[in-house]
């Protein structure tokens, strides 16, 4: 299990049809990470994308659909990332590798952590903000529930109710976590516990409140915080935007 504190987030972008010998490259990378006992990894397949060639790829085109981008993402200690990067560098002959500094706030397996004691004052609604912010990523399972409701839905509803800036839910197609179980989507690989990631960008001063809300609801998952720059513009009432 990852310790709290400084960590590195590695994101690898490759095309779905790129091969390593006979296997898809993304699958080879995923298997390599699991073999090396990385704390956890997630494979995400976007619905639309383009790369350095400027060619748009989407599921509507047979060829371009096969060429859709795939994103492999994992978080590890800085030492482990330094050990793995030379191997990944050699494997990714056509793609992109990105490394970001991040911070582990919580890594738990059915262990509930008490939320921070500090209670920041409620921020008033705002229609414009630009400056330093925090990017919070919440990793959990699709089958996680809270009072019979999918946990990811309950978290998003709670954040919306508390007027956080926004939240986006991503559903992975392949992943494993601290329990070392592989979860994969597909006709022949049905899983009710695919990886879910919730991404939230919010002001730094609301970080303790945000983490407190999430950790109080999260029972088995991971919360990661990174520095970010926020440029938020909220349309005024009556401008025609929802």
Where residue 208 sits, what CATH number does that domain have?
A: 3.30.70.120
**Residue spans of alpha helices (H) in the chain:** 25-35, 62-66, 78-91, 151-161, 207-217
Give the helix/strand (H/E) hosting 128. Answer: strand 128-141
Greater confidence (56 vs 22) lies with: 22
In a domain, residue 239? The reply is no
Report residue 56 as tokens.
């748009």
Q: Which of 53-57, 108-112, 185-189, 191-195 has the highest mean pLDDT?
A: 191-195
pLDDT at 151 over 60: yes
Assess if residue 172 is contained within a domain: yes
Residue 192 has pLDDT above 80, yes or no: no
Domains held by the chain: number: 1
Flag whether 240 is in a domain.
no
Q: What is the pLDDT of residue 66?
A: 58
Average pLDDT of the residues in 217-224: 89
Burial of 32 (0-12, 13-18, 19+ CB in 10 A): middle
The single residue listed with the structure tokens 């659909």 is 65
Total-model pTM: 0.53
Instruction: Return d(Cα 203, Cα 229) in angstroms, integer.
Output: 9
Does any domain span residue 22?
A: yes
Q: Alpha-carbon distance 9 to 14, whole Å?
A: 17
Confidence of residue 17 (pLDDT cuts 50, 70, 90): confident
Residue 126 confidence (pLDDT) above 60: no
Q: Is residue 138 part of a domain?
A: yes
């Amino acid at each position: 299990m990852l310790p709290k504190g400084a960590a590195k987030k590695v994101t690898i972008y490759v095309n779905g049809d790129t091969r390593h010998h006979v296997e898809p490259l993304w699958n080879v990378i995923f298997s390599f990470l699991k073999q090396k006992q990385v704390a956890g990894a997630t494979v995400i397949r976007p619905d639309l994308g383009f790369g350095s060639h400027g060619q748009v790829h989407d599921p509507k085109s047979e060829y371009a659909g096969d060429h859709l981008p795939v994103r492999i993402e994992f978080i590890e200690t800085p030492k482990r990332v330094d050990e793995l990067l030379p191997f990944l560098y050699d494997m990714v002959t056509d793609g992109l590798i990105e490394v970001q500094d991040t911070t582990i706030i919580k890594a738990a397996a059915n262990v509930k952590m008490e939320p921070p004691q500090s209670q920041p004052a409620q921020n008033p609604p705002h229609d414009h903000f630009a400056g330093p912010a925090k990017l919070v990523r919440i990793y959990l399972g699709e089958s996680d529930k809270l009072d019979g409701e999918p946990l990811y839905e309950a978290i998003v509803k709670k954040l919306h109710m508390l007027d956080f800036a926004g939240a986006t839910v991503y559903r992975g197609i392949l992943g494993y976590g601290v329990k070392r179980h592989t979860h994969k989507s597909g006709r022949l690989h049905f899983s009710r516990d695919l990886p879910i990631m919730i991404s939230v960008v919010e002001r730094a001063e609301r970080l303790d409140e945000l983490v407190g809300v999430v950790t109080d609801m999260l029972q088995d998952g991971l919360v990661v915080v990174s520095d970010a720059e926020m440029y938020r513009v909220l349309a005024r009432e009556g401008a025609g935007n929802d």
